[in-house]
Structure 1
Amino acid sequence: MPHGHDLLISEAIRAELGAPVLVRRLDSSPRSDVSLVEFDGAPAIVKHITGGPDAADRFHNEVTALRLAGQVRPSPVAALLAADPAARVLVLEHLQRGSPAEVRWSVEYAVALARLHSAPIAGLPPYRGAAPDDIDAFLSLAQRLDVPVPASAAAELRAVLARLDGDAAGSLLHGDPCPDNAVLTDDGIRFVDLEGAQRGPAMVELAYLRIGFPTCWCVTALPPAQVTAAEAAYHDTRRSLGHPATGGDLTDACVSWLIQGDALVQRAARRGIDHWAALTRGDWKWGTATARERLLHRLDVVATMTAGHAQLSGVAALTDAMRSLVRQRWPRLSTLPMARNNPLTLGD
């Protein structure tokens, strides 16, 4: 078994945890190196945050979020065992996976998300979601598709963003609460990979269950009964932790995910590109679905949720017309894969 001399583990961490021995490298994003390591025989995860001008910020966000969320009991995150800011190295608890067949994954996910959202938020950056440029680009997409834009739609979308901004200090957000960042243990789900942690409106992450995990390669749909049960468990958990009212509107959150062009591509390709314009020229596959399939699912969700909504009548008319046009223009699009349990094990 190779030794851990090449893992950038400081003498201070070695003195605290013991001599490191590399067990194996693990799959990770292009902006981090992750390994399973034993310290004097005890397994742990060593994560080295690399790449990009924001590497130091991502390290700070993850360390801060892990320490804050670790104050909640039961903890919704892997424990932070040690950290070296100079090398941007974290040593994390090695989570033992449980048996997914014995639990309702969506409910466990929602409970863990509620615990995470109930943690303190001091020291985290504010939420960065949909922006006015996203509104302009999305409405331009409708025009390119020859869908009439109701006169009230732009103002309604601006009001959605304003309402979400009004809850900008509300909760500790994971930033990318995807199924492959949610480890199912025998004690419930625990989250990992919190580099994108922020403080903001909790609803933008609870919306993942309806809108289909929008920042994830494994975008999927969940059966409506599972979504209903998971959302109820989320609110029950928040109340049990002393949060009698959860701020924000789930419909607003789903609308905000719909208009974000960045939610059509993986993280490395986000920001600074009009993905809506690219969508009219061609389609592309990312993980379990294409960009146009993601759009169609989100249009379905938002059109259904906004139907009869007094503050979003223009958005309701727009999204209903757009989903009809998308189906007509690209008739071979598939629906998102349906996950009966964990989205990482489709069909289970």
Structure 2
Amino acid sequence: MEMILHAAGELLGTDPSRPVDLGGSTRSTVLRCRTALGGSVVVKSFRDGPEGRRAFASEAAGLSLGLAGPELLGVDASVPLLVMADLGSAPTLADVLLGDDPEAAVEGLLAWARGLGRLAAGSVHRRADLARLRARYGGVGENGENAASGDEERWIAQRITALLALLAEAGIMTPEGLAEELAEIETTIWDEYPVFTPGDTCPDNNLITPEGLRLIDFEAACFQSVFLTAAYCRMPFSTCWCAFRLPAGVAEKIEQAFRLEVVAAYPALAEEAVWQAGIRRAVAAWTVNTTVWLLPRTAEDGPLHRTRRPVPTRRQLLLHRWEAASALEEFPALTRTMRRLLREVTGNWETPPLPGYPAFETRGIR
């Protein structure tokens, strides 16, 4: 703590005080600190090691673009550490969705979708800038590779390899052509209509402030296919713990809000066939990711978040994702795999369906 405060003080030119732990992660420590002038800043220090360095370089680079997020006040790559403007203690989109006001929930979701869409549309010409900034902040590994480059790691290909190994280990027979089908999805979507994203656009990383929606957490900032971001609207929230069912029509409304923004950058996305095919490829990719993430942890069920309640369980989310992916008929090997998982893995779970978001359930909106 002393080292973090000292490094932050060097950047600010004044000693920060009264640190309050804001949570952080296994990769970082996040503190709200008072300044000598009576204001406050947020200090984020990253753990040493490859994962911490990767997260630091991505966040520092992503915030340095100045496209979204809190103002970056200082960076020390030697710690590594960064100091940001404090956006205050506004509620997050997760707070609203877990609350009891459906109107506020819809407004929050639409603000989130429009904000992400505007960010995506306004970023298409900044990819080289992000790569340059990431390298500046230590993104080059020992062998010359860009160790912090989330968009260059081809994570979908890595998850496909992991999925095939996981299914074999679990004794789940895979249909002929699954590997080739997934490889085709990965190859097609990887660089399809690339846009900037903070990386983790889940509800708890979106503050609803008096000035509007503000994004936080840029540890996975990268350029990726616009469809991989858009799929967060449809699924919803492809990689998040705060994943429940949305009422009929709401997912479509937020997806359309996002799409209307990104069409300005990529007019071809106005074509229904282009949009639907891309989204469905993204849903397939994220379902592979979720399966690799959660299936090894379902021997015993448990909540998706350590402390937040209400929250779905691991089995509930997997069941929901597999059911949705089993309807992707244009990917026959994948759909057969999903149906096999539903039959052979979930058959003994006795797991209730994924519930709706509490904000809508309180008034019986489904």
2:252 matches 1:228? yes
Q: Which amino acid aligns with 2:74?
A: A
The CA deviation at 1:320 is 3.6
Aligned residue for 1:217, secondary structure, equals coil
1:37 to 1:195, Cα distance in 2 relative to 1, 3 A: same
Given candidates 338, 342, 345, the residue that maps to 1:319 is 338
1:207 to 1:138, Cα distance in 2 relative to 1, 3 A: farther
Structure 2 portions without partners, runs of 5+? 135-148, 270-274, 306-310
Q: Distance in 2 between matches of 1:174 and 1:225?
A: 26
Given candidates 25, 28, 46, the residue that maps to 1:29 is 25
Match of 1:269 in 2: none
Aligned residue for 2:50, secondary structure, equals coil
Kindly indicate whether the alpha-carbon contact (under 8 Å) linking 1:296 and 1:326 is maintained by their aligned counterparts in 2.
Answer: no
The CA deviation at 1:98 is 5.9
Q: Which amino acid aligns with 1:49?
A: F
Match of 1:88 in 2: 80
Match of 1:270 in 2: none
- Structure with the higher fraction of residues in helix conformation: 2
The CA deviation at 1:234 is 0.3
1:340 to 1:230, Cα distance in 2 relative to 1, 3 A: farther
The CA deviation at 1:264 is 2.9
Q: Which amino acid aligns with 1:258?
A: T
Match of 1:130 in 2: 156
Q: Distance in 2 between matches of 1:318 and 1:56?
A: 37
Given candidates 44, 62, 67, the residue that maps to 2:64 is 67
Deviation track 1:29-86 (CA, whole Å, cap 9, x = no partner) reads: 1221111112211222111112433322321110111122x23xxxx32221222222
1:245 to 1:36, Cα distance in 2 relative to 1, 3 A: farther
TM-score, with length taken from structure 1: 0.78
2:171 matches 1:144? yes
- Alignment coverage as a number of residue pairs: 314
Match of 1:258 in 2: 287
The CA deviation at 1:283 is 4.1
Aligned residue for 1:260, secondary structure, equals helix
Q: Distance in 2 between matches of 1:32 and 1:201?
A: 27
1:157 to 1:60, Cα distance in 2 relative to 1, 3 A: same
1:10 to 1:83, Cα distance in 2 relative to 1, 3 A: same
Where do 1:133-172 residues align within 5 Å?
Answer: 133-137=161-165, 139-140=167-168, 144-145=171-172, 149-167=174-192, 170-172=194-196
TM-score, with length taken from structure 2: 0.74
Structure 1 portions without partners, runs of 5+? 266-274
2:326 matches 1:337? no
Kindly indicate whether the alpha-carbon contact (under 8 Å) linking 1:105 and 1:341 is maintained by their aligned counterparts in 2.
Answer: no
Q: Distance in 1 between matches of 2:84 and 2:293?
A: 30
Q: Which amino acid aligns with 1:104?
A: E
Aligned residue for 1:286, secondary structure, equals coil
Q: Which amino acid aligns with 1:256?
A: A
Aligned residue for 1:171, secondary structure, equals strand
State the superposition RMSD in angstroms: 3.2
